[in-house]
Amino acid sequence: MSRAITAVFDDFKRRVQGSFDELNALVESHKLVLTGNLGRNPRQMASYFWLTSHSISGMDSTATIDVCETGFNSGHSAAFFLELDPNIRYHGWDLGEYTAAKPAAALLQKKYGDKRVNVVWGDAKKTVPAHLQATQTKCDIVSVDGEHTYEGALSDLQHFARALKNSTTALVLVDDCCDPGILKAFKQVTFKDRLIQWHSKVQFAPEDMPRDLVPVSRSICHCIGRYLSPDDTSRVHDPDAKHATVAPTPTPQPKKWWQWLS
Ligand SMILES: C[S@@+](CC[C@H](N)C(=O)[O-])C[C@H]1O[C@@H](n2cnc3c(N)ncnc32)[C@H](O)[C@@H]1O
C-alpha cells in the first residue's frame, strides 16, 4: 500500500511544483512580497495531502468539492487544493496586504479557470460571513490560515461552521496551531460549533501516515478536526456537557483516523 501511495504523492508533488514554480517566478520577476506558505514546507504539504486525499476519497466523484480557506497569500495552498482534484473549487479570503496576492490570484484564475478560483479581498472577520451569506457557498473542506490571532481564528472557525453542506463531514485544518491564540480558538469551537477535535498540534505528521511519505524538513504545527454535518445530530458529545447539543454515548474513536472521517 505504501508504495502505491508514495507513487501517487510523487506524481502530485510534480504537478503542484509546476504551479509553485509559476507563482514563485511571478513573485520574483515583479519583486512582489509574500509570507510563509505551504510551498515552503514539504512536511506540511505531505500531511495536508494525506488528510485531504482521504477526506475526498469517499465523496461522489462527479460532485463539486468546495474548499474554503482564509489566508490566500501568494496562492500556494490554493494551488495545492486545485491540483488535488479537478472537482475542487477554491474559495479564498485574504487581506491582500502582500503585493503578491492579487497577481497570484489572477495567475491561478487564468490557469485553473474563473469558475474554480475565487478570492475575496478584505478582513475575513467581515468578508467571510458577508460572502458566505451572499453566495450561499457551502464548504466541504475548511482551511484556516489567515489572521494569526485568537479573534481571527475563532471568527473563521465559527463562520465556516455555519456554512457546511448537508451530509458532509467537513475536514478542518488549522495552520500554526502552536500559536496559543489559535489553539485557544480551536479548543473553544470544539463541540460548541459541532467541531470535533482529532489532533491538536500535529508536529510531525498525522498518526498512521506512512513514514516514508514524511519528508525530513521543517516542523509543522497544525490542528485537525472535522465539523459534523448540519443534519447529523446524533454524535455531538461534549465531555463538559456545557455545550452539548445531544449527548448520547460518545462515538467510539476508530483506530485509523480516516475511518473517523467517514
Ligand atoms: C500565512 S499566510 C497564508 C498562506 C497560504 N495559506 C499558503 O499556505 O500558501 C496568511 C495570509 O493571511 C492574510 N491575513 C491576515 N489577516 C487577515 C484577515 N484579518 N483577513 C484576511 N486575511 C488575512 C495575510 O495577508 C496573509 O496573506
Ordered by start, the domain boundaries in the chain are 2-261
State the pLDDT at residue 70: 98
Residue 34: C-alpha distances to residues 90, 146, 173 (Å): 20, 13, 21
> Is the shortest distance between the CB of 179 and ligand 1 below 6 Å?
no
What topology is assigned to 2-261 in CATH? Answer: Rossmann fold (3.40.50)
Rounded Cα distance, 113 and 92, in Å? 15
State the pLDDT at residue 246: 37
State the pLDDT at residue 214: 55
State the pLDDT at residue 89: 98
Rounded Cα distance, 250 and 236, in Å? 8
Nearest alpha carbon, ligand 1 atom 27: 73
> Is the shortest distance between the CB of 71 and ligand 1 below 6 Å?
yes
> Is the shortest distance between the CB of 93 and ligand 1 below 6 Å?
yes
> Is the shortest distance between the CB of 22 and ligand 1 below 6 Å?
no
State the pLDDT at residue 256: 42
Residue 42: C-alpha distances to residues 7, 30, 51, 106 (Å): 16, 25, 14, 25
> Is the shortest distance between the CB of 90 and ligand 1 below 6 Å?
no
Nearest alpha carbon, ligand 1 atom 11: 71
Nearest alpha carbon, ligand 1 atom 3: 71
Q: Which residues contact 181 (CB under 8 A, 6 or more apart)?
A: 148, 149, 150, 151, 153
Q: What is the mean pLDDT of each run of 10 residues along the chain (262 residues)?
A: 70 93 91 82 84 84 94 96 96 95 97 97 98 96 95 96 82 88 87 68 58 55 81 52 38 40 36
Rounded Cα distance, 155 and 35, in Å? 22
> Is the shortest distance between the CB of 145 and ligand 1 below 6 Å?
yes
State the pLDDT at residue 253: 43
Q: Which residues contact 132 (CB under 8 A, 6 or more apart)?
A: 159, 160, 162, 163
> Is the shortest distance between the CB of 38 and ligand 1 below 6 Å?
yes
Strands 222-227 and 170-174, how do they pair?
Answer: antiparallel
Whole-number Å distance, alpha carbon 94 to ligand 1 midpoint, is 5
State the pLDDT at residue 237: 47
